[in-house]
């Protein structure tokens, strides 16, 4: 995604009941006073049962250079998290809609708040998905989003996050602390 696209992208703000309460430019919403807003996280699983993990680009505003789940994003106004997931799959990972065999929401009410070392805050209601991709699905990541990626076993991912939490995004650690997500990943 180019800087012009990021500047025009809108995120959905949420009130204290987690209901939509407005929109804001994505380029301006993440600060040290980030308002609660809607997002999503996704763990992509290949036909061999491996999980795609990505290292966030060093140019990212929040949590640059940390390893995290396959992709994240923000649904725009009128867009469902599932629709945003497919859109971000294309923008961030170079996947097409036909690459996704199934998409399942595992943690529909996940919410987290975290600040990075620069003080920039992420505060999101962030449904967590597991998406299976077709055999042969290729990754062509956007370098302004992803610095590197690896396909790993779910067990290796869980153990890696537990052993070296500082190398990973705070949300992946919180998400993997929930049994339904661990069970879904280990079940492939």
Enumerate the active-site residues. Answer: 72, 124
- Exposed / middle / buried, residue 19 (Cβ in 10 Å: 0-12, 13-18, 19+): exposed
Q: Which of 116, 35, 17 is nearest to 74 (CA)?
A: 35
Q: Is the dihedral of CA 137, 140, 145, 148 positive or negative?
A: positive
Q: What is the largest CA-CA distance in the chain?
A: 43
For residues 33 and 121, the answer to whether their CB atoms sit within 8 Å is yes
Q: How far is the C-alpha of 101 from the C-alpha of 78, rounded, in Å?
A: 24
37 annotated as belonging to a binding site for a ligand: yes
Cα-trace Rg, the chain: 15
178 annotated as belonging to a binding site for a ligand: no
30 annotated as belonging to a binding site for a ligand: yes
Residues in the annotated binding site for Mg(2+): 92
Residues in the annotated binding site: 30, 37, 74, 92, 122, 124
Residues in the annotated binding site for Mn(2+): 30, 37, 74, 122, 124
């Amino acid at each position: 995604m180019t800087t012009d696209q990021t500047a025009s992208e809108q995120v959905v703000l949420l009130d204290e009941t987690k209901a939509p309460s407005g929109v804001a430019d994505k380029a301006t919403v993440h600060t040290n006073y980030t308002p609660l807003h809607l997002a999503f996280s996704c763990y992509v699983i290949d036909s061999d049962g491996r999980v795609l993990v990505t290292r966030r680009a060093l140019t990212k505003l929040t949590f640059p250079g940390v390893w995290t789940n396959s992709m994240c994003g923000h649904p725009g106004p009128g867009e469902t998290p599932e629709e945003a997931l497919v859109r971000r799959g294309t923008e961030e990972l170079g996947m097409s809609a036909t690459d996704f065999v199934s998409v399942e929401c595992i943690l529909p009410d996940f919410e987290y708040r975290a600040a990075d070392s620069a003080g920039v805050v992420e505060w999101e209601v962030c449904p967590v998905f597991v998406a299976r991709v077709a055999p042969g699905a290729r990754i062509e990541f956007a370098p302004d989003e992803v610095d590197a990626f690896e396909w790993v076993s779910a067990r290796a991912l869980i153990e890696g996050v537990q052993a070296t939490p500082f190398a990973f995004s705070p949300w992946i650690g919180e998400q993997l602390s929930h049994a339904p997500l661990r069970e879904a990943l280990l079940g492939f």
